[in-house]
């Protein structure tokens, strides 16, 4: 069981630049590994060099997570290439192993995913849209929905649900998280996809809000400032 429900063979994490995809992917991988699951995390973010799974490589490997990273990740090469071992996640000889794919931002980053859509569908997958109300380009729910559609077209895959990861980094408090819930619900209604969970950093105490499902995560990705 993952932090977002029963795990499929492949879990795809996608969304807008800076929405927190990598933090979600890393937290999920660490949680599965802590549960004793065999898990790989695949960094397919070959578009945006600033927030990448590669930056958490030591933490992941020390926790027993198999990291599959782009060639030349964290080097001076500006355009990393797909990891050589990427196709290993489809192996039927490792049926018990789960793979988490951290996709590059927007539909441009999802294009590479579309090349493997048939394999992903055959293996069995969930794809989650990471929503952050406080990212300017998707602060309007209609724009966020258009982003979802663009990623689906580019990846040739369908979203299973929405992860409301609305935050303002170190300035995030309980009100920042709670005020995003109506927007996430509006996006859910517009897209027809459920809000699988709302995330909050572990340092926060959201309290009991009734029907909302909160997942508490660590803030593990590198900071630019």
Query: The domain that contains 128 carries what CATH number?
Result: 3.40.50.300
Count of all residues that appear for the chain in the document: 225
pLDDT of residue 54: 62
Q: Is 85 part of a structural domain of the chain? A: yes
Q: Which helix (H) or strand (E) holds 142?
A: helix 141-155
pLDDT of residue 44: 82
Q: Is 4 part of a structural domain of the chain? A: no
pLDDT of residue 168: 92
pLDDT of residue 6: 64
pLDDT of residue 71: 62
pLDDT of residue 51: 45
Q: Is 1 part of a structural domain of the chain? A: no
From the list 92, 126, 98, 88, the residue with the least C-alpha distance to 33 is: 98
pLDDT of residue 128: 96
Q: What is the DSSP letter of 128?
A: E
Q: Cβ distance 184 to 211 under 8 Å?
A: no
Q: Is 223 part of a structural domain of the chain? A: no
Q: Is 25 part of a structural domain of the chain? A: yes
Looking at the 3D structure of the chain, how many domains does it have? Answer: 1
Residue 4: strand, helix, or coil: coil
* Range of the structural domain that residue 67 is part of: 10-217
CA distance 151 to 109: 8
pLDDT of residue 160: 95
Q: Is 92 part of a structural domain of the chain? A: yes
User: Considering just the CA atoms, what is the radius of gyration of the chain in Å?
Assistant: 16
Mean pLDDT by 10 residues, the chain (225 residues): 69 91 92 91 70 72 87 50 77 78 82 90 94 91 96 95 94 93 97 95 77 84 53
pLDDT of residue 77: 45
């Amino acid at each position: 069981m993952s932090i977002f429900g029963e795990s499929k063979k492949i879990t795809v994490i996608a969304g807008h630049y800076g929405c927190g995809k990598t933090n979600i992917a890393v937290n999920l991988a660490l949680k599965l590994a802590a549960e004793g699951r065999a898990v790989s995390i695949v960094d397919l973010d070959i578009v945006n060099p600033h927030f990448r799974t590669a930056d958490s490589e030591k933490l992941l490997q020390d926790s027993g997570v198999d990291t599959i990273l782009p060639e030349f990740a964290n080097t001076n090469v500006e355009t990393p290439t797909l990891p050589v071992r990427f196709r290993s996640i489809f192996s039927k000889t490792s049926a018990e192993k789960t793979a988490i794919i951290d996709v590059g931002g927007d539909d441009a980053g999802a294009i590479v995913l579309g090349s493997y859509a048939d394999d992903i569908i055959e293996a069995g997958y969930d794809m989650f849209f990471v929503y952050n109300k406080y990212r300017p380009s998707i602060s309007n729910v209609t724009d966020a929905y258009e982003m979802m559609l663009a990623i689906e077209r580019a990846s040739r895959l369908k979203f299973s649900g929405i992860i409301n990861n609305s935050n303002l980094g170190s300035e995030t408090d309980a009100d920042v998280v709670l005020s995003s819930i109506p927007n996430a619900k509006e996006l859910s209604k517009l897209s027809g996809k459920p809000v699988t969970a709302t995330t909050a950093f572990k340092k926060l105490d959201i309290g009991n809000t009734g029907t909302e499902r909160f997942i508490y995560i660590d803030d593990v990705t590198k900071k630019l400032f």
